[in-house]
Structure 1
Amino acid sequence: MGDNEFVRAATKADAKDFYRLWQLCFGDTDAFCDWLFHNRFYPEYSVCLEKEGEILSAMQGVPYTIRVRGKDLAGAMLCGVSTHPDHRKKGYMHKIFTHEMNLLNQKGLSLVVHTPATLESYFAYGHYPVADAVYIQGNKPIEPEGKVSFLEKTQWLKLYPLYENNIGVRYSGAVKRTAEEFLRKCNDYASDGGVCIVLRNEEIDGYAFLYSLENEVVCPEAVANDGCYNALLQEIFSFAKGRQVSVKLPPDVDVSFEWDKHVCPKGVAGVSNIGDILKKLEISCPFAVDIFDPIIVENNGVFTFEGTKSGIDPAIKVEAGQFLRVLMGYASLDEIGPFVTILNQDGYDSMKQVLPKCKCYIIDEY
């Protein structure tokens, strides 16, 4: 590393410098950044690269419980990965990313999820797609059947069961938000001008947090009970009054063909502790896996499905990040075939049986 250039864990005193770098790189409003750094800055889970007293590159981690195949894993969500525009293409990201992943490993976290703008930027670090999202887009003018129903801030906690039932317990990769974390996320949206509309029948069957801009309406979180997404979309497009609309939805929701629908990978994940992931998932399989990880030394070796290192002959050899895609249920072993070396066909077949694909979705971005 260059003279006077070093990577370190963040401290509370770095908040202002992280704030300035975030705003410089992402252009978010003062109101949003004020809220974010008051409520979501966890210096003990974040790192930065400093040179001559100036923070030039930073990465933040937010601790969360992540649900994977119905099990609760200690994890983190990455956000604010940024380098000062005048100091890019110097390898700073590799340095802070390596430091961050090892820091999270030392803190006992199992996995890391995030939803970066450019997924491919993280493949070199063993972070690969583990969740898709559906985007409903267009400017279809829809006449409202009645008044659009807004939900006041004091009532937002009523939406928590909708999130928990339709996101939290349904998808592998989703954050297990507590009621407090759910309300904090709602307030995140409000800090930057977000409003909440709801679909009301006999009770609230869906909600959407929206940013109402001059020429468009952006909806980063829309959740509804089964069979109610079409009606919720009607509400959103009615609210937009002909403006361009973009709504992010889970990949498996049942919506009619009238909507302009685009499916794409959105969330990625990486391994901070492969042994702990295997242990917590409680998957019964007598065979072992030879794991290699270019970032975290402790993740290298032959592991049993009980999460312990072993001297037995492995059935397959695979990179930690690629294997995580299978463990989370996003991909099958066959689908990551080019990255798997089969050493024992019976063991490979057994793993395929105990690791079926499941529904995956990451709704949060920070």
Structure 2
Amino acid sequence: MKVRFAKDEDLKEIKEMWKYCFDDTQGFFNYYFENKYNKENTLVVEIDNNIISSLQLNQYKIVLNNKPYDTSYVVGVSTFPDARGKGAMKIIMKSALNELYKKNQIVSILMPIDYRLYRYFGYEHCCDQIEYNMDIEILKDFKINGNLKKASLEDIPGLIDVYKSFLKDKNGYILRDENYFENLFKEINSEDGYIYIHENEEGPDGYIIYFKMDKTLFVREIAYKNINALKSFLKFIYNHNTQFKKANISSSIDDKIKYLTLNLRNIDIKIKPFMMGRIINFKKFIESLNLNIDANLNLKVEDDFIDENNKVFNINIRKGEIEVLETNENEDLTIDINTLSQLGFSYIDTKEALFLGKINVKSKDRLKDFEKLFTKKINYINEYV
């Protein structure tokens, strides 16, 4: 098997593989390959000059601990059915991880079909969403406070402003600029979805992205600056009551809808696992942290797929100056890359990792220093490709 980056002449086979493996509408399929696909970010596996497997590394900027990182979002991991079970996925994923390391990327994300598949490669769960399923009649008593209109490209500055405000106290989110929202309009239109914006006397203060699905109104994203904008959107959803009996709303885990409804027992509220993350370059990740602490420890990192991570590192921090060096000294702590990724994405803290038995501690004194490195935060990633 040979792994390489895609060429122009590979596109037909990559498209055929995508169609076979994923149940997308023709509209979304066309959108993806016209707007997102890039051969330079696509790896393929071939045998005897025949492509059997592929994946894409879509490029974003993610904010972790108030710092932006270039990141690759792994999508489209697919293999033709006659080639499955031959190890193509292991080969292409290992190659992808090492390509990202060579490109000096520090973290990566993906949305898993099966968590077991990607845990094997060092990715770990890092982001939840809250999902509300309710009878639409529950929302009838809310009122619209402001003006609602269908959003257009001219509204992008307002959408960016709302998005920034909604995420100002969150972590692990994707930076969205004008180009991002231009693509988002194309993506939503490709699946017959809608973006509406809410305005008060001071300008845009919220937006909603939704789709009409059979008897349910599905809200993919709802962002707001204030409670009045949220209440307006809930009434806006209710105003579809002649078309839909149910509403399904996805949002950040700390969304405020649950505080506004009168009887929560009439709403099905779920925590929906959404995204996995992975540290690609452990040394550079630690060195990139903004830490006003003093600490010193030897940490053994276990990573079966990126050899440069699979070492013992001395982490020395003095007055915020961070130095991370390989060492031949004995380790104070041992941890695998999966747990480190959850810590690095601030999904869990060190005490939780200890409770779960994910850290092997040889020095309790050095454990106190390790605990200073990570804090738990609320992550919100809502990108689909």
TM score, norm. by length of structure 1: 0.89
Q: 2: CA distance between counterparts of 1:56 and 1:233?
A: 47
| Structure-2 residue corresponding to 1:319 | 336
Name the aligned partner's letter for residue 173 of structure 2.
Answer: A
Q: Which amino acid aligns with 2:286?
A: L
**In the superposition, relative to structure 1, how do residues 120 and 138 fare at CA in structure 2: closer, same or farther (>3 Å)?**
farther
Answer yes or no: is the 8 Å Cα contact 2:129–2:272 preserved in 1. Answer: yes
- Kept in 2: contact 1:224–1:232 (CA 8 A): no
Q: Does the 8 Å contact 1:49/1:55 carry over to 2? A: yes
Residue of structure 2 aligned with 1:335, choices 349, 352, 368: 352
* 8 Å Cα contact 1:194/1:211 also seen in 2: yes
Secondary structure of the 1:308 match is strand
Per the TM alignment, residue 92 of structure 1 is displaced from its structure 2 partner at its CA by 2.2
Q: Deviations over 1:194-238 (max 9, x none)?
A: 211233333332211112233333222221224344542332343
Kindly provide the CA deviation profile for residues 86-108 of structure 1, in whole angstroms up to 9, marking residues without a partner as x: 43333322221111111111111
Q: What is the aligned partner in structure 1 of residue 195 from structure 2?
A: 196
Pair 1:309 & 2:325 matched? yes
Match of 1:279 among 287, 291, 299: 287
Give the aligned partner of residue 55 of structure 1: 51
Structure 1, 338-347 or 279-288: larger mean CA deviation: 279-288
Q: Give 1:115 shift.
A: 1.9
Cα deviation for residue 67 of structure 1 reads 0.8
Taking the TM superposition and a 5 Å limit, the aligned residue runs for 1:106-185 are 106-141=102-137, 142-143=139-140, 149-167=149-167, 169-185=168-184
Aligned position for 1:206: 206
2:246 is the alignment partner of 1:244: yes
Whole-angstrom distance in 2 between the partners of 1:244 and 1:88: 39
Which of 84, 93, 97 is 1:97 aligned to?
93
AA aligned opposite 1:310: E
Residues 343 and 374, structure 2, Cα contact 8 Å, conserved in 1: yes
- Which residue, out of 301, 305, 312, partners 1:295? 305
User: In terms of mean alpha carbon deviation, does 220-229 or 203-212 score higher?
Assistant: 220-229
Residue 42 and residue 278 in structure 1: after superposition, are their counterparts in 2 closer, same or farther (change >3 A)? farther
1:159-195 CA-partner distances (Å, limit 9, x unpaired) = 111112223x433221122232233223221222221
Question: Is the 2:215–2:244 Cα contact (8 Å) retained in structure 1?
Answer: no
- 2:235 aligned partner: 234
Residue 65 of structure 1 and its aligned partner are, at CA, apart by 1.5
| 1: CA distance, partners of 2:175 / 2:63 | 6
Task: Supply the distance in 2 between the matched residues of 1:163 and 1:56 (Cα, whole angstroms).
Answer: 40
CA contact (8 A) 1:59 1:81 kept: yes
Q: Is the 8 A contact 1:301 1:309 kept in 2?
A: no
Partner SS state of residue 199, structure 1: strand
CA distance in 1, matches of 2:28, 2:55: 18
Aligned to 1:321, what secondary structure does the other structure show?
A: helix
Count of residues in Structure 1 that have an aligned counterpart in Structure 2: 361
Aligned partners of 1:131 and 1:360 also within 8 Å: yes
Aligned to 2:367: 348
Distance 2:102 2:205 in 1: 42
CA contact 1:156–1:186 (8 Å) conserved in 2: no
Distance 1:230 1:121 in 2: 40
CA distance in 1, matches of 2:174, 2:351: 27
Instruction: Provide the rounded CA distance (Å) in 2 between the counterparts of 1:277 and 1:246.
Output: 37
Measured on the aligned residues, the alpha-carbon RMSD in Å equals 2.4
Give the secondary-structure state (helix, strand or coil) at the position aligned to 2:56: strand
Give identity over the alignment, percent: 20
The match for 2:256 is 254
Query: Which ranges in structure 1 are unaligned for 5 or more consecutive residues?
Result: none
Q: Say which is worse superposed, 343-352 or 146-155, in terms of deviation.
A: 146-155
| SS of structure 2 residue aligned to 1:90 | coil
Which residue is equivalent to 2:319?
Answer: none
Give 3-state SS (helix, strand or coil) of 2:296's partner: coil
CA contact (8 A) 1:210 1:220 kept: yes
Rounded Cα–Cα distance in structure 2 between residues aligned with 1:175 and 1:88: 33
Question: Partners in 2 of 1:307 and 1:209 — Cα distance?
Answer: 44
